Structure 1
Amino acid sequence: MQMNEARLGRLDDLLISTNRYSLETLDGLFSAAIVGPAEVDIDDCMAIFDAGEATPWESEAVHAEVAELLKEFWAVIQARVSGDPKIMGEESLPFVDSPEEFDELEDVSTYDGDFPLASDWALGFRFAIDAWEEEWSEWLDESTYPFVGMLLTLTADQTDPDPGTPAVPLPTFEERMTLLNEIPFQLATLYRRRHPEHGRPQRRDESKVGRNDSCTCGSGKKFKKCCGAGG
């Protein structure tokens, strides 16, 4: 499932122009909604974006356009987090902004700036944890604490430490790149935990297979001409 750059850009522009954060933040929020323990949908997520200083959509037509773009984007995230990062490769990475300097570099590993890579994505994910705190607090355990630590590290530039607690040190760009590449694997783990039946082969009850249905053995023949021939 893919979404072309023009539609992604249009959605990003509409969100930012109405003070509703960015596409990157939305990616983090939708990702958390899909892999997390709370039963939430697009409207629940957008209620978070609509709070605060968000301005009304320009018209009903624009509102309807946004609704279609959001559905498409949700489907993109759904397909991504439910896939295998090892197979998907770079397509498993979230939509995050990168430094403009990348366009001028032949090797991005030589970048030595301090661009806050994936900070907005992690912020969107944390929005979901905060919004559905009860469900997440019951769900988080030792296996998920490292991922939460990643979120705290990536958003260290946007948050103030609680009184009496030490500030999370700002990560280097190289550390951010490492954490970004780890995100797909963490999401895949959370998705499998949320949907334990995902990816398991479904066995059909042969007693309920119609004689004209495809055979359950996978031969491609009709059931009556294969395993059901003797029935």
Structure 2
Amino acid sequence: MTLPLTDPQLLRLEQLLGDPALDQALPLDEVQAYLCAALSGPQAMPEAQWLSEVLGGVDADGDGPGREAAELLRLLAAALEAELASGEAPVLLLYPIDGDEGGPSDLVSWCQAYLHGIDTAVDGWFEFLGAEEGKEDSEDICFLDEQLFTLFMLTGDAEAAAAAAGDDWLSGEELERLQDECEARLPQVVADIYRFWAARRAVRTVRRETAKVGRNDPCTCGSGKKFKNCCGAA
């Protein structure tokens, strides 16, 4: 079982990400969000790619803080993937808005980093599912769209899209209630999206590993007959 990072390890990673030598690195909360997306999708993002994104282009194999940070980031990614694979909602690493310890958490930055992970994925999520303009969305597309609405709601993108389309939007207590619901749902949404993609990867792997049997090939049942004269006769 992959163990989560200890508090001292997380603190050290946080310090490294703030090192002047890694001035373009993501802060720890955005690292977690980005990795949640990078580990999901039609295929997991290659390690070299997400390390480069997280460290701001610094060589993870070079000398200095980038190397140490990369080692801790690999541990964080492994622990996070194990947590997501279990279906357990991750505990989000969040900073307070404007550094106010008593203030609300900065969910906007976390969600934006997750969405950036989707944008930089090897395969486009919706394109992979066959989304096309003018084509009716499949159940998979609708499910994914529904989950991502939680993030778009928290970043304000959902409201902006409604305004651009000239649609009515919520206000007052109704809006606050929806925002609270999305905030509470976010960790489980992240886990559900990971498992959604993991299930589709499993199906794709089974299909690739099952070799197609030609009609003139020996039957896979071991009878010695050609497939067309045996199990393929039907």
Q: TM-score, normalised by structure 1?
A: 0.61
The answer to whether 1:195 aligns with 2:193 is no
- 1:42 is aligned to 47
Looking at structure 2, the residues matched to 3 and 173 of structure 1 have their Cα atoms a distance apart, in angstroms, of 34
Equivalent residue runs for 1:135-174 within 5 Å: 135-139=124-128, 141-156=141-156, 165=164
Find the residue that maps to 2:142 and give its secondary structure. coil
Q: Which one of the candidate residues 6, 22, 27 is aligned to 2:27?
A: 22
**Displaced runs of 4 or more, over 6 A:** 54-57, 166-174
Give 1:22 shift: 0.9
- 2:38 is aligned to 33
Looking at structure 1, the residues matched to 171 and 58 of structure 2 have their Cα atoms a distance apart, in angstroms, of 32
Percent identity of paired positions between Structure 1 and Structure 2: 19
Task: State whether residues 35 and 81 of structure 1, in contact with CA within 8 Å, keep that contact through their aligned partners in structure 2.
Answer: no
Find the residue that maps to 2:199 and give its secondary structure. coil
Question: 1:76–1:153: structure 2 CA closer, same or farther, 3 Å change rule?
Answer: same
RMSD: 3.8
Give 1:177 shift: 5.1
Could you tell me which runs of 5 or more consecutive residues in structure 2 were left unpaired when the two chains were aligned: 130-140, 202-234
Give 1:176 shift: 5.2
More helix by share: 2
Task: State whether residues 87 and 192 of structure 2, in contact with CA within 8 Å, keep that contact through their aligned partners in structure 1.
Answer: no
- 1:70 is aligned to 73
Could you tell me which runs of 5 or more consecutive residues in structure 1 were left unpaired when the two chains were aligned: 86-90, 102-112, 199-231
Note the alpha carbon deviations across 1:111-139, whole angstroms, 9 max, x for none. Answer: xx5x3532222111111111127421224
Looking at structure 2, the residues matched to 56 and 50 of structure 1 have their Cα atoms a distance apart, in angstroms, of 8
Task: State whether residues 117 and 176 of structure 1, in contact with CA within 8 Å, keep that contact through their aligned partners in structure 2.
Answer: no
Equivalent residue runs for 1:215-226 within 5 Å: none
Q: How many residues align?
A: 177
Note the alpha carbon deviations across 1:26-53, whole angstroms, 9 max, x for none. Answer: 11111011122233133211332455xx
- 1:94 is aligned to 92
Looking at structure 2, the residues matched to 66 and 193 of structure 1 have their Cα atoms a distance apart, in angstroms, of 30
